[in-house]
Chain A
Amino acid sequence: MPLAQTASASRPTLGFTLEGLTGREETLFKAFIRLLDHRTLQQWVYRPSRPDLRVVADSVASDTVRIDAIAPDANCPLLLTISSAPGQRQHCVSLPLRADELEAELNSLGQLRVGAGSVARPLPPQASFRLLRWPPAELLGTPERVHFATLMVSKPFTLAWVQERSGLAPAACAQFFAELHDAALLAAVPSTAPEAAAASAEAPSATVAPPASAGLIARIRSRLGLLVRSGPQ
């Protein structure tokens, strides 16, 4: 089920991961997240890499508390415990899950995270960026993201342009964009710079082929059995 898109442009996106839960509990928790998406102050997405929130079973929480007491880390994810014994911990919800209880905890933890300034706010769709380096495998994950990243290597870009060019859902694009930004892989480019950067690029040498035409690229794709992409003509 796609994430609700109505609020994604105005709400920060936060990632959570699940630890120590049974498969059934994981499925149930993700279903609750989708159910509550139109009510929470932040948009929550399952994101095992670089999570803002670890949702953990009782046993995992006990170990985590002990470790954190030894080596607390201001940048570490927040913790929400799923417990069979309610009221034992701060930021804890009990089984069976209740929507109102979970919503209150998500909003409370979300505000903590956003208030701490550790989360990138949604990036303006018209702001220009350039990719600093090829993203790590943990951020790529899917062929769509690899395609998305490939779009970014050739010139400065805006989120709006990449959304249009990639054909991916706006929420998925915004999410990947935010993760790249969080990982310090994007550098802002002054608003007039994309065109200027393109114009000031070194003049092509005679030793390199002139830019391949869209027709030629389409014919090569077709011959390779690849989908012909529908970019702007």
Chain B
Amino acid sequence: MSEHKILFTGTMGAGKTTAIGAVSEVPPVSTDVRNTDMAVDKATTTVGLDYGELTLEGGEVLRLYGTPGQKRFDFMWKILARGALGVVILVDNSRADPLADLDVYLAGFKRLIAEAACVVAVGRMEQYPDPDLDQYAAHMQSRGVLCPLLPIDVRDRAQVTQLLDMLLLQLEIKAEA
């Protein structure tokens, strides 16, 4: 039976686990451990990966993977990116330098972004409005990346679904080319 996958990546605390849980038909499987990074206010963090899935008509499975956020696990990003349909990059605007955070994932998933599809979603913009989306767009342009960019509340299923819709639309256009 065919299997397909979409990745969710981003910094620790950006909401990958929550985003996957918002659309997965099974509770997300996470390999969380107690967080020892005092810079991030959360009790546990994902050191392996998150996993959720959707069963499609005909029995195919769409797998949703959340990558470990820390750059020291970037060897896993390449493994997960192999054969992926696309990647959703979640950025946490409350962090010290979210544009630098974004750079890490734009570089880490460069090939997948260029050849498949990508959406960048920025969380916690209401409480932390800077940098704004226009600054993100300019930053991405300076890095040679053009993809949809929008604010996100990962707790909202409709918003997470919209991210996937934008990813699918890009795939659709590429498939027609």
Chain A residues with a Cβ under 8 A of chain B: 131-137, 146-147, 149-151, 153-155, 165, 198, 202, 204-205, 207-209, 211-214, 216-217, 219-226, 229, 231-232
Contact = CB atoms under 8 A, between A and B. Distances in A.
A220 B164 CA distance: 9
Interface string B134-177: 10111011000011111000000000010011101111111111
B148 A219 contact: no
B23 A151 contact: no
A204 B134 CA distance: 30
Contacts of A214: 172, 175-176
A173 to B, nearest CB: 16
B115 A208 contact: yes
B137 A133 contact: yes
Interface centre among A150, A198, A214 (most CB of B within 10 A): A150
B90 to A, nearest CB: 16
Interface stretch (B9-17, B36-44, B53-61, B67-75): B53-61
Given A198-B177, A225-B161, A134 B169 contact: no
From DSSP, what is the main secondary structure of chain B's interface residues?
Answer: helix
A155 B171 CA distance: 11
25 contacts: A132-B146, A133-B140, A133-B141, A134-B147, A134-B149, A137-B132, A147-B169, A150-B169, A153-B148, A154-B170, A165-B173, A205-B115, A207-B111, A208-B115, A209-B84, A209-B85, A212-B85, A212-B168, A212-B175, A214-B172, A216-B60, A219-B58, A220-B56, A226-B165, A229-B172
Interface centre among A134, A136, A222, A223 (most CB of B within 10 A): A134
A155 B177 contact: yes
Interface string B85-123: 100000000000000000000000001101111000000
A222 B57 contact: yes
A96 B83 CA distance: 66
B82 interface: yes
Contact of A151 (B56, B85, B115, B169): B169
Interface of B: 2, 4, 23, 54-58, 60, 62, 78, 81-85, 111-112, 114-117, 132-134, 136-138, 140-141, 146-150, 161, 164-166, 168-177
B115 A150 contact: no
B165 A224 contact: yes
Interface centre among A155, A224, A229 (most CB of B within 10 A): A224
Contacts of A208: 81-84, 111-112, 115-116
Given A208-B115, A212-B174, A223-B62, 13 more contacts: A132-B141, A136-B134, A136-B137, A146-B166, A153-B170, A154-B170, A205-B115, A213-B175, A220-B164, A224-B165, A226-B168, A229-B169, A231-B172
A134 B4 CA distance: 27
Contact of B4 (A151, A165, A209): A209
Contacts of A225: 161
Given A154-B173, A198-B177, A224 B161 contact: yes
B148 A231 contact: no
Contacts of A221: 165, 168
Contacts of B174: 154-155, 211-212
A224 B55 CA distance: 10
B148 to A, nearest CB: 5
A21 B146 CA distance: 40
A186 to B, nearest CB: 12
Contacts of A134: 133, 136-137, 140, 146-149
